[in-house]
Amino acid sequence: MKPASGTAALRVVVDLNRCQGYAQCCYAAPDAFAIRGHEILFYDPAPPADRRDAIERAVQACPVRAISLQVGPDDGDAP
């Protein structure tokens, strides 16, 4: 289940070779995904932790499964 707040960092990457601009992620998580022009996807690769539910909706809603999300420890760049 969800880690306690404050310890989770969200990391998102979209495979833009797969993405076809269906914009389902934009409806699911409008603060993290946006279509610009006809089909350019802009997204926030490091959204705030409280958007987790919305981002997970976006992951599920993507028709081509192009979105990857990690809910990881907020360990900065620590090796």
Partner 1 sequence: MTPVPAGIVVVGASLAGLRGAEALRRAGYDGPLTLVGAEPHRPYDRPPLSKHVLAGELAADATRLPELADLGARWRLGSPAVALDRAARTLRLADGSALAYEALLIATGAEARPWPAETGGGLAGIFTLRGRDDAAALRDALVAGPRQVLIVGGGLIGCEAASCLRDLGLPVTLVDPNSAPLARGLGTFVGGVIAECLRASGATFRPGTTVRAFEGDAAGHVARARLADGSTIETNLVIAALGATRATGWLRGAGLRADAGGVTCDAACRVLDAEGAPCPDIYAAGDVARWPIPLYDNRLIAVEHWGNAVEQAAHAARNMLAGPGDQRPYAHLPAFWSSQFGINIKLVGLPEGADSVAVVQGSRASRRFLAVYGRGGRSVAAVSFDQARWLPAYAEAVTAGDPFPPITDATDRPRVEIAAPGFPPPRRPAPTRPPAETVHV
Partner 2 sequence: MSDDALFAAVMDPANRADPYPLYARLRRRPVSPQRDGSYVVSSHAAIRSLLFDPRLSSEDLPPPRRPRTGNPLKDLILNPIKNRISATHRPLIFRDPPDHDRLRSLVMREFSIARVQALRPRIAQEVDGLIDACRARREVCLVSDLSYPLPVTVICELLGVPREDEPRFQAWATQLATAVEPDARHDDATRRQIVGAFDDIAAYMRDLIREKRRRPADDMLSGLAVPGPDGRKQMSDFDLLSTAVLLLVAGHETTVNLITNAMLTLLRHPEELERLKADPERAPRLIEEVLRYEPPVHFRTRKALGAIAVAGEMIPKGAPVVLLFAAANRDPDRFAAPDRFDPDRADIEHFGFGGGLHYCVGAPLARIEAEIALVALSRRLVAPRLVDDPPPYRPGASLRGPEQLRIGIDGIV
Residues forming contacts to partner 2 in the complex (CB under 8 A) are 22-24, 26-28, 30, 38, 53, 56-57, 60-61, 63-65
HSE of 71, CA atoms in CB hemisphere, 13 A: 17
Judged by CB under 8 A, does residue 17 bind partner 1?
yes
CA distance 77 to 29: 26
From the CB of 42, what's the least distance to partner 2, in Å?
14
Judged by CB under 8 A, does residue 20 bind partner 1?
yes
The answer to whether the CB of 58 falls within 8 A of the CB of 34 is no
From the CB of 24, what's the least distance to partner 2, in Å?
6
DSSP H or E segment with residue 4: none
Of 31, 39, 50, 53, the residue at the interface with partner 1 (CB under 8 A) is: 39
